[in-house]
Every structure is written in structure tokens, then in C-alpha cells.
């Protein structure tokens, strides 16, 4: 009954844009509305069932669209040789993280991912800088990609994800020098247009995948938003092993 009512609601909706809904005559639409009214008087709970059916259908459609987008952009997503990689570079399971170094949820997820890499020695973690939280986010992402040129992406990544203050330029200088980076070279590289292009490419890729915030994880053909717990990540990795 819920599925039938969901279809009826879709057909009766003034915003229904599908060819199926538009195929009804005005008389048929009026009859459907009458059926809806009588059904809801008899058993109001079927409205909840109908809405749940619609929500489930929308979720399935969104997941299918995400799977298609992941498949269409697999090369840029999983196999871009320019991307920084943590964990096992030769690992047979790849997890991609879109993150912003200023994002509180990314900071919350960071120790969980670190623990996951210890638990899963066959895991390759690809990092996609996605600076969406303002100018200091952009500054931090540029510093990270510049540090990659000195072989220091991972330690600076750890430092910035543990940081509890704004990654302003003086803070970045302090952290970089503490880690043994050549600050003068790092600062020059931060302004390299090639780094800006890499960040723009990450933003376009995130848009293509309909990523709406950070952190966002991609593993296999699944997009996982938010700071999920270790048990969830272990399950996702185990599922990929089985495949």
C-alpha cells in the first residue's frame, strides 16, 4: 500500500515532472487525489509509509548517481600520480579522503584513519586537499602541497590536523621549520600556479561527485560523508577485501 500511495502522491504533486506523472489526464489526477483523501482518512499511517518509500527511492537514486560518478572519474580519483599517499603505497585497497585542514570533523577523523592504517597494512590512503572553509584553508592546502615537494607532506599533514589554532602564515612557518622544512622554498612553492591548479582540480572532482562537505571518503564505489567511526571503516575495508 505504501508504494502505491507513494506513486499516487508523486503523480498528484504539482511539482511532479516525470513523464509518467504528466501522462495523466486532469480527470485521472482528480480521481487520484480523491483516492488519496479517502485512504488517509481511513488509515493516516500510510502517509508515513509512502514518505518512507519516497525517501528510500531518493536515497537509492542518489547512491546510484554517486556510483556512476565514481566510476566515471576513477582515474583522477584513485590513480592520479601527483596525489599524496599515506599508508601502504602499494596497498590493494584504496581509500580516498577529501579534507580541509581547518575542518573540525577532519581533525576528529584523523586519529581514526591513523589507527585504520595500522589495522589494515594493505590500505592505501589517497589525500585530496579540499580547502572550502576560507582563506586560511587555502593557505594550509598550498603549504601541504608545497611540503610534498620536499618529501614532508605526511608530517605537515599530521601537524595541521592536530593543530588547535588557525593555520595563518606565521603558524605555518613555525610548524614547517619545526619539521625541518625549508621555509623560504616552501613559501615560494605555495605561490606556484601549478599548486593552485591542483586545488582547482580537486574542487571540480568533488563537485562531480556531489560532495557537499568535509571529510568525505571514497572506498570502492561508495561515498561516505562525515567523520565515521573506526568500526565502520574496518567494515568497509573488509568488504573491499572480500570483493
pLDDT digits (tens, 9 = 90+) for 47-62: 677 667 666 665 666 7
How does residue 34 score in pLDDT terms, banded at 50, 70 and 90? confident
Q: What is the pLDDT of residues 212-223, one digit of tens each?
A: 999 999 999 999
Q: What is the pLDDT of residue 59?
A: 61
Domains annotated for the chain, with CATH where assigned, are 2-65 (no CATH), 75-242 (3.40.30.10)
Q: What is the pLDDT of residue 54?
A: 65
Q: What is the pLDDT of residues 187-219, one digit of tens each?
A: 999 999 999 999 999 999 999 999 999 999 999
Q: What is the pLDDT of residue 66?
A: 85
Q: What is the pLDDT of residues 102-154, one digit of tens each?
A: 999 999 999 999 999 999 999 999 999 999 999 999 999 999 999 999 999 99
H-only helix segments in 73-192: 74-78, 104-119, 135-148, 153-162, 169-178, 183-190
Q: What is the pLDDT of residue 213?
A: 94
Cα distances from 4 to residues 32, 35, 39, 52, 95, in angstroms, run 11, 11, 11, 12, 40
H/E run at residue 95: strand 93-99
Most confident option among 3-12, 17-26, 92-101? 92-101
Q: What is the pLDDT of residue 27?
A: 84
Q: What is the pLDDT of residue 50?
A: 65
Nearest Cα neighbor of 99 from 210, 204, 225 is 225
Q: What is the pLDDT of residue 52?
A: 72
Q: What is the pLDDT of residue 47?
A: 64
| pLDDT of residue 227 exceeding 90 | yes
Q: What is the pLDDT of residue 11?
A: 47
How does residue 20 score in pLDDT terms, banded at 50, 70 and 90? very low
Q: What is the pLDDT of residue 124?
A: 98
The per-residue DSSP string of 19-67 comes to: HHHHTS-HHHHHHHHHHHHHHHHH-THHHHHHHHHHHHHHHHHHHHHHH
Amino acid at each position: 500500500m505504501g508504494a502505491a500511495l507513494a506513486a499516487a502522491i508523486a503523480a498528484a504533486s504539482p511539482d511532479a515532472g516525470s513523464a509518467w506523472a504528466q501522462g495523466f489526464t486532469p480527470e485521472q489526477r482528480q480521481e487520484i487525489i480523491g483516492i488519496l483523501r479517502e485512504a488517509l482518512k481511513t488509515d493516516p499511517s500510510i502517509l508515513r509509509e509512502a514518505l518512507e518509500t519516497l525517501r528510500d527511492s531518493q536515497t537509492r537514486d542518489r547512491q546510484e548517481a554517486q556510483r556512476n560518478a565514481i566510476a566515471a572519474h576513477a582515474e583522477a580519483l584513485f590513480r592520479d600520480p601527483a596525489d599524496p599517499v599515506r599508508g601502504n603505497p602499494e596497498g590493494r585497497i584504496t581509500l580516498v579522503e577529501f579534507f580541509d585542514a581547518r575542518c573540525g570533523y577532519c581533525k576528529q577523523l584523523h586519529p581514526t584513519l591513523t589507527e585504520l592504517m595500522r589495522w589494515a597494512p594493505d590500505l592505501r590512503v589517497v589525500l585530496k586537499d579540499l580547502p572550502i572553509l576560507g582563506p586560511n584553508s587555502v593557505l594550509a592546502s598550498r603549504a601541504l602541497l608545497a611540503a610534498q615537494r620536499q618529501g614532508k607532506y605526511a608530517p605537515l599533514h599530521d601537524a595541521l590536523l592536530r593543530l588547535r589554532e588557525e593555520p595563518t602564515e606565521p603558524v605555518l612557518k613555525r610548524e614547517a621549520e619545526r619539521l625541518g622544512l625549508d621555509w623560504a622554498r616552501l613559501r615560494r612553492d605555495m605561490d606556484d600556479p601549478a599548486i593552485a591548479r591542483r586545488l582547482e582540480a580537486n574542487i571540480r572532482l568533488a563537485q562531480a561527485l556531489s560532495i557537499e562537505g568535509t571529510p568525505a571518503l571514497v572506498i570502492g564505489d561508495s561515498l561516505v560523508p562525515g567523520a565515521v567511526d573506526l568500526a565502520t571503516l574496518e567494515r568497509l575495508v573488509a568488504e573491499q577485501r572480500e570483493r
